[in-house]
Structure 1
Amino acid sequence: MEAKPSVAPSSFIDQQVFPGDLVLDLSKMTNQTIKLGGGLCQDGDVISVMKAGKLRFSKPNKYWVESSHKRYVPSVGDNVLGIVVEARADNFFVDIKGPALAFLPVLAFEGGTRRNIPKFETGTLLYVRVVKANTGMNPELSCTDAMGKAAEYGPLKDGFMFESSTGLSRTLLSSPTCPVLETLGKKIAFEIAVGLNGRVWVNATSPSIIVLVANTIMQTESLSPAQQKIRVENLLQKLQ
């Protein structure tokens, strides 16, 4: 859905909004094209909120409502962090924080054949992709991208995984750059994998860096992007 405004509704961006709130009046806006994401609907020249959350904005001119949930609702194409809970002959059953366990076929790997089936112990953390998410059925996962390549998918070794809200996960994956990760990355070397199901994995050369990155991410969840950047910069200055 597209509409044409002239000015960004800065008074609503990064603020809590609720169903029925009017956040844009297109009759007073011209000259730019915007895109409306989830949580917003258009009725004539009025853009209103459909679900509670924070109004977010990203260039070029995209608006959506970001909601945080503890329980994840699987969606095809989502990258998630799953924990192996059971291994069977044809599938691994994986916990992805959804309403039901997901299954990962033993052949859903690059070059997967019966001769090279991976062996994952219970508790193994995997970075996987949701490929099927039909109502009333267990979601299906894959350790390959759309081209059948392993890409970044597979087991995540060492490091530390912590649970978060789905809103925090989407913030960390926000485009073009998440202020927290961008600011931390300028001073500290670390690896991170973020699942849209509200799980985050962090790894670094020392446990102290892992703890620093994880705690910083969790402590800045409720802040606006500008506040996040300031908080992280202040924290890094104190550590120096």
Structure 2
Amino acid sequence: MTTTDNSLNLVIPGDSISLENNDISNIALGPNVTLENDSTLQPTTAGLFVSSSTKGASKNLYYVDTASGRYVPQVGDLVVGTIIGQFGEYYRVSINEFSKEVLLNIFAFPNASKKNRPRLQVRELIYARVSSTEKSVDVELSCVDPTTGKDGGFGALSGGYTFNVSCAYARFLLFTPNAPVLKKMVEKLQFEIAIGVNGKVWIKSDSSKATMLCVYIISESQNWKQSEISENVDKLIKKFKSL
């Protein structure tokens, strides 16, 4: 199979996807796909193979989109998790209500040491990257950007509100440059956001009411047509201001 820009193709594990005229430095991998060599990708699950190159973007994005409602961790995934306990040098983290918890090493933070590391509490939220998914071993997370060695936006999420969207929609929001609903919200609202491919979204605005407006917009936008987004966001903001 040979890719074309912004293409969609049904793939299954075992398929080989040839990338023509792509320098390895210009490739960004999303979920459910691995790079076998400098010019071939292989899907790790069945679904729609998405190749997306956007004008002005520094890299071409490739991933396999699946309608499966259950999130299965893959190395490199960005996730929103909840601290549920600690033992030894590890925090136990829940990233899905119906899956086994994963681990976060207390030293998996930039410049972490025994004297200098985050002190996370039970029920505290984190934004992290899946760093290991070895068979027969617990999945591990990291709050270090592997390309820079810095936090890269990972770490504890203070305040705000966390809610669920479908995994497919979370991937769409995370991997689509200028996702329409987020682009429209940025024009009208001030907020911070962290999106996990595990279907969890954390958002924080300057007030509780504004935060809940953002939550409602993103949750409802899963059911909107793209042509309806601008008008619907404007209507909801107008209604919010009248309360």
Partner of 1:201: 202
CA distance 1:57–1:104, change in 2 (3 Å): closer
CA distance in 1, matches of 2:86, 2:63: 39
Deviations, residues 134-190 of structure 1 (Å, cap 9, x unaligned): 233211111110032112111000110112221121121132211111101101111
Q: May I ask how many residue pairs the two structures share in their alignment?
A: 209
Given that residues 87 and 120 in structure 1 are in contact (C-alpha distance below 8 angstroms), is that contact kept between their aligned partners in structure 2? Answer: no
Paired AA for residue 137 in structure 2: M
Shift of 1:201: 0.5
Deviations, residues 194-238 of structure 1 (Å, cap 9, x unaligned): 011110001011111111110111111133433333422343355
Deviations, residues 70-129 of structure 1 (Å, cap 9, x unaligned): 421101111111111111221001111173211111111111112223221110100011
CA distance in 2, matches of 1:103, 1:218: 29
- Structure-2-length-normalised TM-score: 0.72
SS in 1 for 2:85: strand
SS in 2 for 1:173: helix
Partner of 1:119: 119
Given that residues 4 and 51 in structure 2 are in contact (C-alpha distance below 8 angstroms), is that contact kept between their aligned partners in structure 1? Answer: no
Paired AA for residue 208 in structure 2: P
Given that residues 126 and 154 in structure 1 are in contact (C-alpha distance below 8 angstroms), is that contact kept between their aligned partners in structure 2? Answer: yes
Partner of 2:102: 102
Paired AA for residue 211 in structure 2: I
Partner of 1:221: 222
- Structure-1-length-normalised TM-score: 0.73
- Structural mapping, 1:32-43, within 5 Å: none
Given that residues 69 and 165 in structure 1 are in contact (C-alpha distance below 8 angstroms), is that contact kept between their aligned partners in structure 2? Answer: no
Given that residues 59 and 176 in structure 1 are in contact (C-alpha distance below 8 angstroms), is that contact kept between their aligned partners in structure 2? Answer: no
CA distance 1:160–1:135, change in 2 (3 Å): same
Given that residues 3 and 51 in structure 2 are in contact (C-alpha distance below 8 angstroms), is that contact kept between their aligned partners in structure 1? Answer: no
Partner of 1:27: none
SS in 2 for 1:81: strand
CA distance 1:86–1:64, change in 2 (3 Å): closer
Partner of 1:133: 133
1:82 aligns with 2:86: no
Partner of 1:43: none
CA distance in 2, matches of 1:120, 1:64: 32
Tell me which moved more, 116-125 or 210-219. 116-125
CA distance in 2, matches of 1:230, 1:137: 48
SS in 1 for 2:128: strand
Partner of 1:143: 143
| Cα RMSD for the two superposed structures | 3.4
Shift of 1:64: 7.0
CA distance in 2, matches of 1:142, 1:222: 33
SS in 2 for 1:127: strand
Paired AA for residue 106 in structure 1: I
Paired AA for residue 138 in structure 1: D
Deviations, residues 32-83 of structure 1 (Å, cap 9, x unaligned): x9x9x989xxxxxxxxxx9567x97744598976334442110111111111
